[in-house]
Amino acid sequence: MQGLMQDIPLTLDRIIDHAARWHGGREIVSRDGQGQISRTTYAEVHARAKQVSNALKAEGIAPGDRVGTLGWNGYRHFEAWYGTIGIGAVLHTLNPRLFPEQIAYIANHAEDRILLADPACRPLVEQLLPQCATIEKVIYLDEDFDAWIAPHAAECAWGGFDERTAAGLCYTSGTTGNPKGVLYGHRSNYLHCLMTLQSDALALSARDTVLLVVPMYHANAWGVIYSAPMVGAKLVMPGQRMDGASIHELIETEGVTYSAAVPTVWQMLLTHLKETDGKLSTLQRVTIGGSAVPESLIRTFHDDYGVDVVQGWGMTETSPLATISQPDARIAELGFDEQVPYKLKQGRLLGGLDLKLCDDAGATLPHDGKTFGRLMIKGPTIAAAYFKGEGGQVLDDEGFFDTGDVSTIDPDGYMQITDRAKDVIKSGGEWISSIDVENVAVGHPAAELCAVIGVSHPKWDERPILLVQLKPGATCTKDDVLRFLEGKIARWWMPDDVLFVDEIPLGATGKIDKKLIRQRMTDYKLPFGDPVR
């Protein structure tokens, strides 16, 4: 039909082309494993990414081939990212925090041909290579990388392929069975970028300086790898150093206005600030995801540092951001204390997506803020299947994907996750949200981390117990914690026991590893007594 708009494929090379042409002088700052700071620009990265493309083509990499990366956030990794996808190859980000046997399985399953690795990962790579038959060459992201691309021209034809061509491959954490691959398309990632740039989402702009704490190996770095260059934001990459002091130094020296990370990173930062009487002079807002955000974290950022916390939710299969707790018109008019209950929810849906709640039989449940159900999601940025068909059919008859989360949705559209389906505690036929109990318990002044799991009970099927990792030097008793919880959670949700542990294990993406906790607690027996109802 005549008179329609220009039909230009939504391929991701257009994002870095745009950044180089219209924001070419904007800085990209990164820190390496030795603490060395490097400075470059979008224009320089664009030219070197073209050299990467030519170097890959010289190695025989063709459209559809998988190129693996194993490393932290830095400018060379950024160049490798765009240099790979620009020629239609698939960038496969490997998580160096996984167990070596998991990484080997993933690399073999993906059939990676080239591996671009951080020099800090050299011992890991040497351990992996004998197990990875498809990897033909390893290039380390240091001077070796520079030498590898140096002979090649800074001009290379990008794009020219269908926008539904695969661009990225990221594997789930594999908490049940082997990890499964999620294959992102150029079109889906481009749309995700536009969706996250809405003012009711990440709201990034050319005026922002973005600290990219979210690892590049974790689900498109929550999309910031695309949204920051799209708007020309200054980009700061912290490398491997994620401790509170290192993060604070970058925020202050580079004038960071926005960042995103999992709660544990921000807890380390706030602990450092308290110990050093530190300040946050430029930081305005942070997006927190990966696991539910404790109220204490939201209030400390707001009350002590004037920083707004916006909670987001997503998963590898959702590109990843899908909901965010930005206020609607009614909530925005409330005072901060009245907004906090909504900030504790995972938020409202991004435009272009759809959610529903279902029971175990697939029947749709109401959005009344009270009814728990399995969270289902649908849209152009949601996985339709896993790579190579692993896991079989993953969509229901209406095309919705089962997230594995148990949630509520209130009449205002705010979604709140109450548990993973595999973690929910069913006591006396009713559900207890381990996440809600954890988020209240971690507000105790002595608590560093808290985890709740269900254990078998002869009468109530399951009862919750609370594990507490104390802050260094802090002391606390079981009665202290239970008194702190009184009045903050339902009485029958009160843990039947409180255990103090040296460490609460975290998984490869910074989430509490409840699978490992349950393994460690195999021989645990509940103290005698019935819960108060």
Q: What domains are defined for the chain?
A: 423-520 (3.30.300.30)
Bridge partner residues of 271 (DSSP) = none
Single pTM value for the model: 0.85
User: Would you say residue 415 has pLDDT above 60?
Assistant: yes
* pLDDT attached to residue 176: 54
Task: For residues 132-147, give the mean pLDDT.
Answer: 97
The stretches of 232-335 forming alpha helices (DSSP H) are 244-254, 263-276, 295-305, 329-332
Q: Kindly report, residue by residue over 28-85, the tens digit of the pLDDT.
A: 999 998 899 999 999 999 999 999 999 999 999 999 999 999 999 999 999 999 999 9
For residue 138 the two structure tokens come to 């390893």
pLDDT band at 299; cut points 50, 70, 90: very high
Task: For residues 132-140, give the mean pLDDT.
Answer: 97
Under a CB-based contact definition with an 8 Å cutoff, are residues 228 and 210 in contact? yes
Task: For residues 411-438, give the mean pLDDT.
Answer: 82
* pLDDT attached to residue 510: 77
Distance CA 322, CA 312 (A): 8
- Exposure of 265 in the CB half-sphere (CA atoms within 13 A): 24
* pLDDT attached to residue 533: 47
Catalytic residue IDs: 172, 317, 426, 431
Q: List the end-to-end C-alpha distance of the chain, in Å, as a whole number.
A: 66
Task: For residues 89-115, give the mean pLDDT.
Answer: 94
Under a CB-based contact definition with an 8 Å cutoff, are residues 97 and 508 in contact? yes
Percentage of the residues of the chain whose pLDDT score is greater than 90: 81
* pLDDT attached to residue 431: 73
Q: Kindly report, residue by residue over 233-246, the tens digit of the pLDDT.
A: 999 999 999 999 99
Under a CB-based contact definition with an 8 Å cutoff, are residues 134 and 108 in contact? yes
User: Would you say residue 277 has pLDDT above 60?
Assistant: yes
Bridge partner residues of 419 (DSSP) = 406
pLDDT band at 429; cut points 50, 70, 90: low
The stretches of 426-527 forming alpha helices (DSSP H) are 434-441, 478-485, 514-520
Task: For residues 511-530, give the mean pLDDT.
Answer: 83
The dihedral region occupied by 492, where left means phi > 0, alpha psi between -120 and 50, and beta the remainder, is alpha
* pLDDT attached to residue 129: 96
* pLDDT attached to residue 110: 98
pLDDT band at 464; cut points 50, 70, 90: very high
Percentage of the residues of the chain whose pLDDT score is greater than 70: 97
Q: Kindly report, residue by residue over 44-57, the tens digit of the pLDDT.
A: 999 999 999 999 99
* pLDDT attached to residue 456: 87
What's the mean per-residue pLDDT of the chain? 93
- What is the Rg, in whole angstroms, of the alpha carbon atoms belonging to the chain? 23
Instruction: Tell me the C-alpha to C-alpha distance, in Å, between residue 89 and each of 12, 80, 96, 168.
Output: 12, 11, 21, 8
Task: For residues 146-175, give the mean pLDDT.
Answer: 93
